[in-house]
Amino acid sequence: MLKRGLILVGTGFGFVLAALAVIQFSGVIPPVEMSGHGWFAFLLGAGLCIILSVGLFALAFFSNRAGYDEISDPSTQSDEQIDIRIG
């Protein structure tokens, strides 16, 4: 599982770097000087966005898989559960 996750994260970073290379070398956007700090901040932000999106997707996936997202049927609940909910 960890190996698969690392492969996905590496692939995501690869796509980000490929997009940066296309933008940099396409000549569509005039060259802009950016310091090393700017590149570091840009890559850090992109990396954190990828990590956040992977984490949120995993949370939704495991929540659904554990049954937390199932619609509950009030007619199948016991009286004790209904009393707790009411008051």
31-52: per-residue pLDDT in tens?
Answer: 778 899 999 999 999 999 999 9
What digits encode the pLDDT tens for the residues 61-71?
888 777 776 66
pLDDT given at position 86: 55
The pLDDT of residue 12: 93
Has residue 83 been placed in a domain?
no
- For residue 41, the number of C-alpha atoms closer than 13 Å in the C-beta half-sphere is 5
Tokens representing residue 6 in the block: 């690392």
Asked if residue 75 belongs to a domain, the reply is: no
CA distance 46 to 43: 5
Backbone angles phi, psi at 34, to 5 degrees: -130, 135
79 within domain boundaries: no
Please give the tally of structural domains in the chain.
1
What is the C-alpha to C-alpha distance for residues 44 and 73, in angstroms, rounded to an integer? 45
Which residue range(s) make up the domain with 16? 2-67
pLDDT score, position 72: 65
